[in-house]
């Protein structure tokens, strides 16, 4: 995968992501998802501009395959702690909020994983406010175990002060935990 990235596959995937056909765009982000697995490529991918393209595409389509590839790629990139601030700056949080309400359990699972990873960075806890919390709480109420677990992890990570703990309780977030 690293050799493929070095020979221009990232650039090619970015070119494909600019296509007008949603199926081709989903394939392009599928390539990025596979490339985002090795730790050595996570940083390279977050710096190349692909994240902004994903955020833009998801905001314009609810295509399940496209949303899955993008949410999974975002979660993979968030596994690298140094990427998390970049991801937030590129606008993944509003994008992930949008994906919390997707009908696909796969999209929700990857969205919850991304939120769990992003919220594990103490410097980003402030990003998770009363506007985002209700969407995270929807992840707690899913029947899919991994989604609920990662949603609970996110709530745990952001419950750093008494105000947030009260807010979680007031919004009904204690019962699903």
Q: Across 11-76, where does the E strand assignment appear?
A: none
> What is the C-alpha to C-alpha distance for residues 50 and 44, in angstroms, rounded to an integer?
10
- How far does Cα 156 stand from its chain's mean position? 18
Contact between 147 and 139 under an 8 Å Cβ cutoff? The reply is yes
> What is the C-alpha to C-alpha distance for residues 32 and 41, in angstroms, rounded to an integer?
10
At 27-41, the pLDDT tens digits run: 999 988 888 877 777
> What is the C-alpha to C-alpha distance for residues 85 and 106, in angstroms, rounded to an integer?
24
pLDDT band, very low/low/confident/very high, at 174 (cuts 50, 70, 90): confident
The model's pTM: 0.89
At 95-128, the pLDDT tens digits run: 999 999 999 999 999 999 999 999 999 999 889 9
pLDDT band, very low/low/confident/very high, at 177 (cuts 50, 70, 90): low
Nearest to 124 by CA among 114, 134, 110: 114
User: What token pair was written down for 37?
Assistant: 């697995």
At 49-59, the pLDDT tens digits run: 889 999 999 99
């Amino acid at each position: 995968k690293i050799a493929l990235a070095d020979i221009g596959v990232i650039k090619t995937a970015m070119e494909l992501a600019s296509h007008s056909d949603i199926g081709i765009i989903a394939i392009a982000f599928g390539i990025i998802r596979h490339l985002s697995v090795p730790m050595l490529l996570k940083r390279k991918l977050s710096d190349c501009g692909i994240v902004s393209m994903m955020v833009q595409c998801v905001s314009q389509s609810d295509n399940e395959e496209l949303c899955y590839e993008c949410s999974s790629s975002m979660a993979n990139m968030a596994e690298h702690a140094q990427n998390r601030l970049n991801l937030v700056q590129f606008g993944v949080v509003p994008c992930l909020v949008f994906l919390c309400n997707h009908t696909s359990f796969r999209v929700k699972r990857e969205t919850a994983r991304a939120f769990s990873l992003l919220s594990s960075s103490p410097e980003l806890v402030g990003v998770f406010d009363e506007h985002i919390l209700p969407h995270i709480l929807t992840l707690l109420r899913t029947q899919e175990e991994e989604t609920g677990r990662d949603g609970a992890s996110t709530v745990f990570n952001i419950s750093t002060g008494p105000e947030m703990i009260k807010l979680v309780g007031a919004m009904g977030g204690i019962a699903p935990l």
